[in-house]
Amino acid sequence: MSVPRYPKYKDSGVEWIREVPAHWAVNRFKHYVERNDGGAWGQDPDGESDTIVLRSTEQTVDGHWKLDDPAPRKLTQAEVEATLLAEGDLLVTKSSGSSLHIGKTTLVSADVAAMRCGFSNFMQRIRTTSTLDPRLAWYVLNNDLARLQFDLLSNSTTGLANLNATMIGQILLPVAPLPEQASIVAFLDRETAKIDHLVAEQERLIELLKEKRQAVISHAVTKGLNPGVPMKESGIEWLGQVPAHWEVKKLKQVSPQLTVGIVVEPSKFYSREGVPALRSLNVRPGAISLDSMVFITEAGHEQHSKSRLNAGDLVAVRSGQPGTAAVVPPELDGCNCIDLIIVRKPLTGSVHFLCWYLASDAALIQFTMGSGGAIQQHFNISTAAELTVPVPPPSEQLEIVGFVDVQTSKLDTLTAEAQRAIDLLQERRTALISAAVTGQIDVREAAGRAA
């Protein structure tokens, strides 16, 4: 799609805006704001009205709503009246634990306004004057044009990521005449909807590829590669049938030792250099990441010799994503680990087969379900020891590993390509919005054709 530039431009006088169409204005946001006020805490002991109070947690980073189940809070009648939202209001996050969320802005739709919501004191309600379309303001405030200014303003005085009403009003923005604003909004609504649809398709593709990957792993490590082989009942409901010539064992019978990394006050052994120590951050599904690696002292390493790792050992995450496992590579032979399950290299068979099995549905069911069927968030030694493992002959294990390696590599490549497509589409979306709201492209004719 080719969109022309305006016939004439002028210098905006602002370094990061540069030139704008000659008939546009460049002003502080405050000149287009009718209301700029804060919200209510929503826990007033004198509160008498149960009112939904929208918070920044109900906003997405890109300025949309995720209203799954917003909680009502107690407000006084005065607070209800002061914070009641109307269609076209803009809610700007002004305080957050993450600077990524500072300045994110959400437009109040008719549906949200009909809920008769209030808003929290960590947000600022902006109601624009009749000279600025709130839909255009929403595009501007969620774009780098405003977000970079928010970032500079919120960190300039206190060093903390916080905005206030004055700061929000201080940002500079180029503003087109009102009829032209409607054209820009119509153009951006149409073009961003196309891009968002393509992004959603790629996200769905990634989900399907993940499902396919999981199915490939789970089938290969529990049923084998030969569909015509005789099967037998494993005696375990969630495992079902396995090839008749396979064995079914406990993990403690497959590995010569199961142990755990440093658990008690590991940080007291940290040092700038010394012995590398793996943590859960370093264990990705099937691979070890060297990012965020920590080191412990030689004395600490000696004191915790039982958690010394050898190349070919398996390490698994205990908490958060229990069971996520990877094989220790040769370059990390002799390192240590912190709060990880250690599965020593099997005496026979492939440790890589065991690693793929721990990623299968059959293993996931076991190490996430505790007694009575309750979901566990902590994978411990006793659970690991009793993990049921189907065991093919060693040569067949290698065949399965080779097959799974190839198939998952293909699927991972497709996933990476889909993610790259998403990144490019999102970059295109951001660039298109920036170009339109700063007048670098003239969308009036394109918007008219669409109408």
Q: What angle do CA 362, 368, 373 make, to 5 degrees?
A: 95
The pLDDT value recorded for residue 365 is 86
pTM of the model: 0.84
In sequence order, the β-bridge partners of residue 369 are 375
Burial code of 350-369, b = ≥16 C-beta within 10 A, e = fewer? bbbbbbbbbbbbbbbebbbe
Contacts with 304 (C-beta within 8 Å, 6 or more apart), sequence order: 261, 262, 269, 336
The pLDDT value recorded for residue 63 is 77
Residue bearing the bigger pLDDT, 151 or 351: 351
The pLDDT value recorded for residue 215 is 97
Tokens 């903390």 belong to: 160
Which ranges of 326-372 does DSSP label H, i.e. alpha helix? 351-358, 361-368
Asked if pLDDT for residue 209 goes beyond 60, the answer is yes
pLDDT band with cut points at 50, 70 and 90 for residue 105: very high
Among 34-48, 325-339, 428-442, which stretch is predicted with the lowest mean pLDDT? 34-48
Summarised one tens digit per residue, pLDDT across range 29-47 is 999 999 999 998 866 666 6
CB neighbour class for 188 (10 Å; exposed up to 12, middle 13-18, buried from 19): buried
Helix (H, G, I), strand (E, B) or coil at 289: coil
Burial code of 388-425, b = ≥16 C-beta within 10 A, e = fewer? bbbbbeeebbebbbeebeeebeebeebbeebeebbeeb
Q: How far apart are CA 376 and CA 146, in angstroms?
A: 44
State the average pLDDT over residues 292-308: 94
Average pLDDT of every residue of the chain? 90
User: Torsion angle, CA of 409/411/415/418, rounded to 10 degrees?
Assistant: 120
Alpha-carbon distances of 110 from 70, 89, 113, 116, 408, rounded to whole Å: 17, 10, 5, 10, 46
Asked if pLDDT for residue 410 goes beyond 60, the answer is yes
Query: For residue 45, what are its two tokens?
Result: 């002991």
CB neighbour class for 261 (10 Å; exposed up to 12, middle 13-18, buried from 19): buried
The pLDDT value recorded for residue 372 is 41
Among candidate residues 40, 110, 116, 28, the one with its CA nearest the CA of residue 82: 40
Among candidate residues 75, 90, 77, 103, the one with its CA nearest the CA of residue 37: 90
Q: How many CB atoms lie within 10 A of CB 233?
A: 12
Q: How far apart are CA 122 and CA 286, in angstroms?
A: 41
Summarised one tens digit per residue, pLDDT across range 125-134 is 999 999 999 9
User: Torsion angle, CA of 156/160/162/164, rounded to 10 degrees?
Assistant: -50
State the average pLDDT over residues 367-378: 55
Domains, the chain, ordered by start: 25-175 (3.90.220.20), 247-391 (3.90.220.20)
